[in-house]
Amino acid sequence: MSQRDSILSRPPSLGSARRAVLLPLAALGLAGLACTAGIAPRSVLTPGAPAAPTAAATVTLAPAAAPTSAIPTATPPPASPSPALPSAIAASPTPLGGGRELVFAAGPAGSEGLFRMALDGSDVLTITAGLGASYNPAWSPDGEWLAYTSDRSGDREIWRLPAGGAEPENLSRSRGADTAPAWSPDGQFIAFASDRDGQAEIYLMRADGTDVVRLTNDPAVDQDPAFSPDGRQIVFVSNRGGALKLYVMNADGSGVQALTDGPGQDLQPAWAGDLIVFASDRGAAGNFELYRLRPGSGAAPENLTRNGAQNGSPQFSPDGQYLLFDSNRDGNYEVYRLNLVTLGVTQLTRTEAPAKNGEPAWRP
């Protein structure tokens, strides 16, 4: 799921594809999930044989060392002014979740477009429909840039679009499949998954697409990166131990440690505060639910959804009080909001098959 391309290849809900960028659905055993979002599997690559299973280490996450010089630090140049896109909602003094609006992917698999809507699901506006398949939306921390995956150039690449309007810009420009963009907390870098070097790995680039650095180097599949709130670590999905599980590493690619173990597959991680939320079928093979984990606590992941449907693509609200996710609990894949205190769920989109809605992203 987080890999949309993995699950949805990210869709267990749409998001699976966070599309994991690299694994084929069959390899993940997520065919059902891929339908969740109605989006093509995020994972686009077919990795080599995974490494032999190894026991997952107990992880106690201590503050990681600051990123090394291998990670670029320059600030990307500002984009030139351009006509503004229509705003989906008016400014609010107390916006729900601390956000301004939502963006999500919608449409039949293979031709998804990006749409924006108000926090309550109203005022839906088109952003990229008709410009190739677009998915994996991710807002910059300041809410001024939208990064996403698109095949509009003929290959899966990472693109970015200014919130104020303008033509989208291709950031990755590689011969491989580049997917699942994730912003660093300071907005200076974007982590993403790519098979440009022959296997699915995690890479880092500046927010303008320059100074690309490869962070992982393993014969297994690595995908679905997400930064820690302090920017010092990255959680990601890998099958280097056998099944797809969560791993964490320093932001320079060093210090890789297993974060989850046990049955099932763990996908599409999102990190806010001291919590990591992810999609997993650990409770029942093929049934993806949302779980939350407090790294280093020693406590088992807590199931947040428990409804028997496919649930994926979790994304925290800016204030960490809510989750956006996609699910087929009501028949079609739709976008939902989860209150992390009450666990109450609100449906935000409604459409008819074969169109699907998923992979939501909350604009700060």
pLDDT at 121: 92
Question: What would the CATH number be for the domain defined by 14-47+97-363?
Answer: 2.120.10.30
- pTM metric for this prediction: 0.78
Q: Closest Cα partner for 39 from 362, 356, 270, 332?
A: 356
What amino acid occupies position 287? N
Q: What's the gap between Cα 13 and its chain centre?
A: 11
- State the Cα–Cα distance between residues 177 and 157, nearest whole angstrom: 6
pLDDT at 164: 83
Instruction: Supply the mean pLDDT for the chain.
Output: 79
User: What percent of the chain has a predicted confidence (pLDDT) above 90?
Assistant: 63
Residues 279-285, mean pLDDT to the nearest whole number: 94
User: 201 near 215, Cβ under 8 Å?
Assistant: yes
Kindly report whether the peptide bond that precedes residue 354 is cis, defined as omega within 30 degrees of 0.
yes
Contact residues for 281 (Cβ-Cβ < 8 A; gap 6+): 264, 265, 287, 288, 289
Residues 253-281, mean pLDDT to the nearest whole number: 97
pLDDT at 165: 78
pLDDT at 61: 38
Residues 189-202, mean pLDDT to the nearest whole number: 96
Q: 32: part of which helix (H) or strand (E)?
A: helix 31-37
- State the Cα–Cα distance between residues 329 and 345, nearest whole angstrom: 11
- State the Cα–Cα distance between residues 304 and 17, nearest whole angstrom: 20
Read off the pLDDT of residues 54-90 as tens digits, 9 standing for 90 and up: 333 333 333 433 433 344 443 333 433 333 333 333 3
pLDDT at 167: 87
pLDDT reading at 28 higher than 70? no
- State the Cα–Cα distance between residues 127 and 161, nearest whole angstrom: 10
pLDDT at 130: 74
- State the Cα–Cα distance between residues 163 and 87, nearest whole angstrom: 9
Sign of CA dihedral 49, 51, 55, 58: negative
DSSP state at residue 4: B
- Quickly state the pLDDT bin for 351 (edges 50, 70, 90): confident
pLDDT at 175: 86
User: 326 near 311, Cβ under 8 Å?
Assistant: yes
235: helix, strand or coil: strand
Q: Is 330 left (phi over 0), alpha (psi -120 to 50) or beta?
A: alpha
Of residues 194 and 351, more confidence is placed in 194
- For residue 198, what are the CA distances in angstroms to 177, 192, 223, 362? 10, 15, 14, 33
- State the Cα–Cα distance between residues 214 and 217, nearest whole angstrom: 8
Residues 298-302, mean pLDDT to the nearest whole number: 93
Of residues 45 and 278, more confidence is placed in 278
User: 9 near 17, Cβ under 8 Å?
Assistant: yes
- Quickly state the pLDDT bin for 24 (edges 50, 70, 90): very low
Contact residues for 148 (Cβ-Cβ < 8 A; gap 6+): 114, 128, 134, 135, 136, 137, 138, 158, 159, 160, 161, 181
pLDDT at 69: 37
- Quickly state the pLDDT bin for 108 (edges 50, 70, 90): confident
